[in-house]
Every structure is written in structure tokens, then in C-alpha cells.
């Protein structure tokens, strides 16, 4: 009876942790460098990192959108005009900051300037691993992909769900059928026989490693994007 109760508690705990993880990982929003801006109930986005707090409000259509971006209380207004991918213009507080074209799929496009054919956004060099405030504002490409391209992401990377699920399945099978993998490896080679104490010790180590692996992959799914 105690064993059944313990197993039930383990199952319920695992289910609770899985639900909490999926809720946290699948929260919608958009990445801005290493800051995740969560989508709020009113349709806006907000988030923060070690450097600043950010908010974003979007309005308009795919051909003409407006974005209000706030960085630690300072606000800038952007307007994005995109009649088509070959004619894109971005304005910051009424001043033209980009005119050119967008190459690539909506939400993941690259902007090219029409005057010199260079990228819309310069490659920024980070000094001593720290951003300057001027580097924290959104780039032209990011604004275009979010406001016009419709880029939307989740807090956690769903690509990690497959290896996490595979580890969980292997762990459950190993616990539910302790001799399953031993029989699969040696069942066709011997008649009878039982695993040694060394096998059972390594089996416990493998289970602990699998549990640790699940938590490591879960943490990585929030860090990789």
C-alpha cells in the first residue's frame, strides 16, 4: 500500500511539473535579443533583461503598422510602411530611418537599404560584454518582422520537447519494467540468467542521470532561441 501511494505521489508530482513547464514554455511573445517580451491581455508586449525594461504596442495593418516602444520610461514612435517587400519604409518619430526592400519570409526577413545596398542594421560590437543604451533600442529588421511580418514566438523552445519526451518515455519504461532493457540486450543470447548487482546499481545511476537530463533540457529550452 505504501509503495502504491509513493508511486501515485510521484506520478502526480511529475504531471504537475509537466503542466507547469508547458505553461511557462508555451507563453507567447517575442524575443528581443535575450529579453522575452510577453504578450499581455491587451495585446501589448512587455519584458525586461539585465539592462532595461521594455514595452511594445502595435497597431495598424500589414501594409502600414505603428509601433510604440518604451525603454525604461523613454518612448519612441515608429511607423512601418510596406506596400510590398520591394518597397519598405520605416520612420522614427516622424523621421525616415530606412528605405529599401525586405528579403525572406515574413517574420524572418532581412532588410536592405536602397541607396547603398547594405543591410539596414549595422553589426554592433559589444564592449566588455555590456550593451550601451543606444544599442538597446529595436533594430529596423526586428520592428519590420514583428509589426509587419507577424513574428510570434514562445518563451521556451518547443524543439526541446522531443528529447525531453524521449527521456521521459525511457525512464517510465525502465521503472515500470526493470528488466526490459536487459532482456532486449541479452534475451536472445542466453537461456535464463539474471542481472548482477552491478547492473541494478548502474540502472539506478541511469535513472538519476535521466531525471537530471530532463531538468537540464528544460532549462536549456528557456535559454536557447
pLDDT at 56: 97
Nearest-angstrom CA–CA distance, 39 and 45:
4
- Choice among 118-122, 176-180, 217-221 with the minimum mean pLDDT: 118-122
Residues ≥6 apart with Cβ < 8 Å to 28: 38, 39, 152, 153, 154
What is the band of 123 on the pLDDT scale with cuts at 50, 70, 90? low
Nearest-angstrom CA–CA distance, 167 and 148:
39
- Tell me the pLDDT tens digit for each residue of 144-202: 999 998 899 999 998 999 999 999 999 989 988 888 888 888 777 777 778 888 889 99
pTM over 0.75: yes
- Tell me the pLDDT tens digit for each residue of 59-91: 988 789 999 999 998 999 999 999 888 899 999
pLDDT at 32: 94
pLDDT at 158: 87
Nearest-angstrom CA–CA distance, 225 and 223:
7
Q: What is the mean pLDDT of the chain?
A: 89
pLDDT at 130: 67
Report the sign of the C-alpha dihedral through residues 88, 92, 93, 96, in that order. Answer: negative
Lookup: cell for 144: 519590420
pLDDT at 193: 76
Nearest-angstrom CA–CA distance, 190 and 172:
26
Nearest-angstrom CA–CA distance, 108 and 72:
27
Q: Cα dihedral angle (23, 26, 32, 33), rounded to 10 degrees?
A: 90
Residue 224 scores a pLDDT above 70: yes
Residue 125 scores a pLDDT above 60: no
- Tell me the pLDDT tens digit for each residue of 17-39: 999 999 999 999 999 988 999 99
Amino acid at each position: 500500500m505504501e509503495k502504491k501511494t509513493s508511486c501515485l505521489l510521484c506520478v502526480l508530482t511529475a504531471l504537475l511539473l509537466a503542466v507547469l513547464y508547458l505553461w511557462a514554455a508555451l507563453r507567447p511573445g517575442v524575443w528581443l535579443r535575450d529579453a522575452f517580451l510577453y504578450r499581455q491581455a491587451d495585446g501589448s508586449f512587455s519584458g525586461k533583461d539585465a539592462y532595461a525594461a521594455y514595452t511594445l504596442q502595435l497597431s495598424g495593418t500589414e501594409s502600414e503598422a505603428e509601433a510604440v516602444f518604451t525603454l525604461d520610461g523613454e518612448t519612441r514612435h515608429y511607423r512601418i510602411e510596406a506596400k510590398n517587400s520591394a518597397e519598405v519604409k520605416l520612420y522614427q518619430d516622424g523621421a525616415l530611418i530606412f528605405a529599401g526592400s525586405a528579403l525572406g519570409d515574413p517574420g524572418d526577413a532581412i532588410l536592405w537599404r536602397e541607396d547603398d545596398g547594405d543591410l539596414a542594421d549595422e553589426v554592433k560590437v559589444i564592449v566588455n560584454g555590456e550593451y550601451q543604451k543606444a544599442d538597446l533600442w529595436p533594430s529596423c529588421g526586428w520592428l519590420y518582422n514583428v509589426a509587419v511580418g507577424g513574428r510570434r514566438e514562445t518563451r521556451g523552445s518547443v524543439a526541446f520537447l522531443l528529447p525531453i519526451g524521449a527521456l521521459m518515455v525511457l525512464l517510465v519504461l525502465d521503472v515500470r519494467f526493470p528488466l526490459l532493457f536487459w532482456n532486449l540486450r541479452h534475451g536472445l543470447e542466453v537461456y535464463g540468467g539474471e542481472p548482477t548487482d552491478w547492473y541494478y546499481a548502474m540502472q539506478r545511476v541511469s535513472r538519476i542521470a535521466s531525471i537530471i537530463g530532463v531538468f537540464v533540457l528544460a532549462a536549456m529550452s528557456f535559454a536557447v532561441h
